[in-house]
Amino acid sequence: MGTYGDDGNSLVLRQRLRWRGHDAEIVRITLDDEVPDSCDIYTVGGGEDAAQKLAARHLSDSPGLQRAVSRGVPVLAICAGMQVFGEWFLASDGSRSRGLGLLDITTSPQASRSIGELVVEPQLAGLTQPLTGFENHMGATVLGSDAAALGRVLHGVGNGVPADPSAAPSAASTTAPGDSASTGASSTGSRIEGVVQGSIIATYMHGPVLARNPEFADLLLCRALGVDSLPPVDVPAVEQLRRERIATARR
């Protein structure tokens, strides 16, 4: 899936590897392909309801990604990709689909679509700069006890709140580490965004998110390479983009 340009995340990862002297190949998986378990990093993008259901079915029938996750291979999941990795998700027509069970989350519709700039204060070790992206989704994602939020929303909606609270599991089963609420709000009442569990990092941020957040891209690359840090790469245009997007969100 990659409806909102999320394919760009793999391009960013490849280029940032090449700038450091590493060879890198992108393996694109379609519904006609078996999902390999041999990749060093996986990215899954967003998509509409029909594509989301097909992706969930294909990834379930061809569990190469699940085997990779069991070995700790890093995975980036965006929007519908995040929802597919959960226990279940509700489509806009009310139909319920089973997810892969890789993330302790459930997703049901919000009362209205979340569209616009999203700025997040990360709560993940290794990320020190605000994350910026563009959200466009109807989903409200509820975290369970094994999942943690990627960060706290500074501007935008993030994980959201279900339109029908009864669609979400009970609060006792949906408390994320460090959070006492069962929806998109933390114990302090602030909104949360994204999900972190094991080697998977998931977010509602498009953009593509890694083009907007080079520190985030390098964190994933460090995990894939098994190193603590990478030589710096100076791309002034990226910093200008970040300043413009964050300024736009704050206006």
Which residues are catalytic, by number? 79, 206
Of 88, 30, 95, 28, nearest in space to 58 by CA: 30
* Whether 229 contacts 113, CB under 8 Å: no
Could you give the CA distance from residue 1 to residue 30 in angstroms, rounded to a whole number?
A: 9
The secondary structure element, H or E, covering residue 223 is helix 214-225
Residue 244 CB partners (closer than 8 Å, separation 6+): none
Of 184, 126, 117, nearest in space to 155 by CA: 117
Cis check: omega of the bond before 232, within 30 degrees of 0: no
Could you give the CA distance from residue 153 to residue 156 in angstroms, rounded to a whole number?
A: 7
Q: Would the annotation count 113 as a binding residue?
A: yes
Of 128, 139, 248, 126, nearest in space to 203 by CA: 139
Inter-CA distances, 185 with 154, 155, 158, Å: 12, 14, 10
Instruction: Show the tokens assigned to 94.
Output: 């009310």
Binding residues: 113
Binding residues for substrate: 113
